[in-house]
Every structure is written in C-alpha cells, then in structure tokens.
Amino acid sequence: MLNQLTISELTGKLAKRECSAREAMQACLDQIQRVDRRIKAFLGYDAADALAQAKAADKAIADGADFKQRPLLGVPVAVKDVLCVKGHPCNCGSKILGKFVSPYDATVIERLKAAGAIIFGRLNMDEFAMGSSTENSAFFTTLNPWDTARIPGGSSGGSAAAVAADEAIATLGSDTGGSIRQPAALCGVVGLKPTYGRVSRYGLVAFASSLDQIGPFSKDVRDAAVIMSVISGLDPRDSTSVPEAVPDYADALGGNIKGLKLGLPKEYMIGGLDPEVKAAVDAAVRQLQKLGAEAREISLPHTDYAAATYYIIAPAEASANLARFDGIRYGLRVDGADPVELYGKTRGAGFGAEVKRRIILGTYVLSSGYYDAYYLRAQKVRTLIRQDFLKAFEQVDSIVTPTTPTAAFKVGEKSDDPLQMYLSDVFTVAANVAGICGISVPCGFTQSPKLPIGLQLLGKPFGEATILKLAHAYEQSTGWHREKPPLP
C-alpha cells in the first residue's frame, strides 16, 4: 500500500512513474477513513485541496521535475495544529482561537511546499502544546495505534499517531520539552528535535519561545534526514535562527560508526525507569558497540534540576506568550461589561485546565518579589545544565538515554496527577533547556501488552548529522522500525 511507504520509497516510485502522487495521496485519505475514527489523529483535512496539490505534483513530474531540487515532490505531509498554513484553520488544540484561519505560511511550510510536499490535514495536540498525552486537547484525545486504550504521548500526539498508523507519509511537530521525541517513542516512529535556532520558528504559535523547536516525525531515519535538510537554515523573520550552513543530512548517512563515542549518563538510570525499557536501551547500546561505537559512563551533575528548571521557564514564557489571546482582535470573544471582564470571561471559557495552570504558575514566578527567587534562579541553573552537556560533548559524540521512563500509559491514568504527567518528560526536557539536538528511534517493545520503546540519542549543538548517522546505523541493523501496529 502506497501510504505505508517511506519518503525515499515513494519518491523512487514516483520518479519511475510506477505510481502517481494522486494515488499516494488517495491511499493516505483512504487510510484515514479506515482507521482515524479509532485513532483520532486528525482535527480535520481538506481532501479536495490535497488531491488538487497531488494533481499539480503529477504535472510537475510529467514535465520532468528534478527530485534532487524538489526531494519531497508528491509526498503527503500532515502538520501539527500549531503551525500556520495559509488559508487553513489553526486552533492549537484550543477553543480560544475559535474560527481563526491563518493568513500566511510558516517558514517550514513554505520550505516544504517549495520541495514539492503535499501539505494536508491538521493534527491533534495538547492545547498550546502543554501536555504529555494529548489528553489536554480541547477537542478529543488521540489514541495510540498500538493500543487504543493508551495515550500516544504529547504534545504532538496526533503527529506521531498519524505516522504510526500510516495516515501520512511524514508529519511535522513541535518540541518544547520532549513533544516530538516522547510521542515518537510511545508510537514506535522516528522523531527529531533540532538544535535551537536550526529551524525557523516563524509561523509556529509560541508556547515557550526559548525552548520551542519544529521537527519531523517519520517512518525511518533517512526520511527524517531528508526533511531536516529541507526545513533547516537561516530565516530573517526569526531572530533566533542561526546562520549555520545546512548539510545534506541524508548524504551523511551510511558508512560505519567505528570510533564514535557514546556517553551513558549515570543520572538517567533512575528509580521509576521501567525494567523492560532499561533492558531495551541496554541492548541498543550493546548493538551500537557491535557496530563499532565506544560507550563510556559520563556524568551530567545538574540533571536532577532539569525538570524543575523547565517547569519554571516554560510556564513563565507561556504566561507572556498567551497574553495575546484576549478576545479583542481574533478568536473567541465572550463580552463583558468592561475590558477586564471581557478578558476574564474570554480566557476563562477559551483555555483548558492545564493551560490555566501553567499561566498561573508562570505569572507567579514572574511577579514582583518572586522573579529573582524563581525565574532568575532557573535561568542560572539553565546555564549550568547547558555547561554540563557542552563539557560532556568534549569527551563523547552523542549521549544515549531512554526517551521515556515507561511505555505508553492508559488514557486517564495520570490525568488527576499533574506531577506524574510532568515526569513523563524527565529524559527529554534537559535537551530543550540546553538547546541541543536529540532524536528518538524505536529500540524494542514491552512484552505484554506489546508497546514500543524509544532510544534517545542527544547531540551537541548543530550535531544533527552525527545523531542521524548513529540512529541510521542502529536502525539498519535492527528491525524495530518495520513493525506495524495491529490496525485493520
């Protein structure tokens, strides 16, 4: 089935005229019809628009388009509901944006379109990317294709589930504290969080501006590399994007990994780490060693403070960013007797419980008398955490950890305990705090029930090529990424 193909497999068939882009797009739409009433990955999609884009791609192919210049030509790509696509709704999984329609394309969308991708569908997410399970969506909970009684992870749960269920060839998500890597691990797909500044955030609705990054979900590592080469690079509309040369990440794959040094942080082997997850990650390390990599124990001494630091900085920035949603210019509006009442009623009706919780927490740590004690101190600890990683990368090429402490948990299992939910991201938040890159790749399954386990490879700033090379070598020597969930 065409919807089960990777980007490389599909573009190969398209180039040889063994199938058409319209057939590939229709295969994805048919799969959505078959399975999405159970998975609930999509908030919506425009089938007619998607097929029109596919028709244009077929014409370009017939006219002799160069796949080297347009490496995603005819490839259906769906996007998280936090990215602006011109003429399409953007709700961020929230009621407060109402019937807002984006008037412009995010930079990553512009670049995907220029590369020939068919952009279709809005994928479900935790409201404003605040959550680890997609249960915080204002609309419905996305479910894990491997077990529909369980969550797919979050906040990019729809993006991960859509790839795992073969509803799209690839998807885009955003990662503020693990929101690409964590759901990728729980759904058994590849998810890459780029270095902060590697990919433009223009057109990404902000959660925490110093932490957010956009990245791909894909069926294998090569596809992630192809998308990364397309979406990366300097953008003058994003003052935090970095003028760093963009390599051809896919070309860097292959070859041996002999001599590459892996760091195993002793602080990550914590209580609460599921024994099956630990066993799968240990086995993955041994496999990388068989392939020629060298492993050594390292220390990241400020690891214990990463989650606390994150949950001060992220809510503080969210408090500032979400102040714009006030019912005045766009989105939901609940009238009041005066502006203050209008603001209160609009935000009270429009935001969900988790968003309100984080806004309140963020406002508190930024308030007079508490700024120095909380926010300023968190920024100082953030510097120490980043220094830990930079020091470690003087000794090793990549740091290897579990992506998540457990496999996917049941829907509702942690809904009443926000702290337990926050700890789902305990292995991923540090990379965002430090601004480094990371990738999650499938590395095994739990026994009963059969649920995916993810291996996380962290890299130095702008070290995506190294972690992609390691991930690809591991992936090609194992078969975990070829496993499919038990869907009809």
Identify any residues that bridge with 78 across adjacent strands, giving them in sequence order: 171
CB-CB contact of 252 with 204 (8 Å): no
What is the secondary structure of 414-439 as a DSSP string? STT-HHHHHGGGTTTHHHHHHT-EEE
What is the secondary structure of 335-404 as a DSSP string? --SSHHHHHHHHHHHHS-HHHHHHHHHHHHHHSTTTTIIIIIHHHHHHHHHHHHHHHHTTT-SEEEEESS
Q: Give the closest residue to 39 by CA, choosing from 126, 136, 147, 131.
A: 147
Task: Look up residue 304 and give its amino acid.
Answer: D
Question: How far does CA 389 lie from the centroid of its chain?
Answer: 21
Instruction: Count how many residues are written for the chain.
Output: 488
Question: How far does CA 293 lie from the centroid of its chain?
Answer: 27
d(CA 248, CA 228) in angstroms, rounded, equals 9
Selected catalytic residue, list 133, 156, 174, 179: 179
**Is 484 a catalytic site residue?**
no
Selected catalytic residue, list 80, 113, 219, 469: 80
**Is 155 a catalytic site residue?**
yes
Cis check: omega of the bond before 89, within 30 degrees of 0: no
**Is 80 a catalytic site residue?**
yes
Identify any residues that bridge with 457 across adjacent strands, giving them in sequence order: 400, 439
d(CA 327, CA 329) in angstroms, rounded, equals 6
Selected catalytic residue, list 20, 132, 155, 440: 155
d(CA 197, CA 419) in angstroms, rounded, equals 30
Residues annotated as catalytic are 80, 155, 179
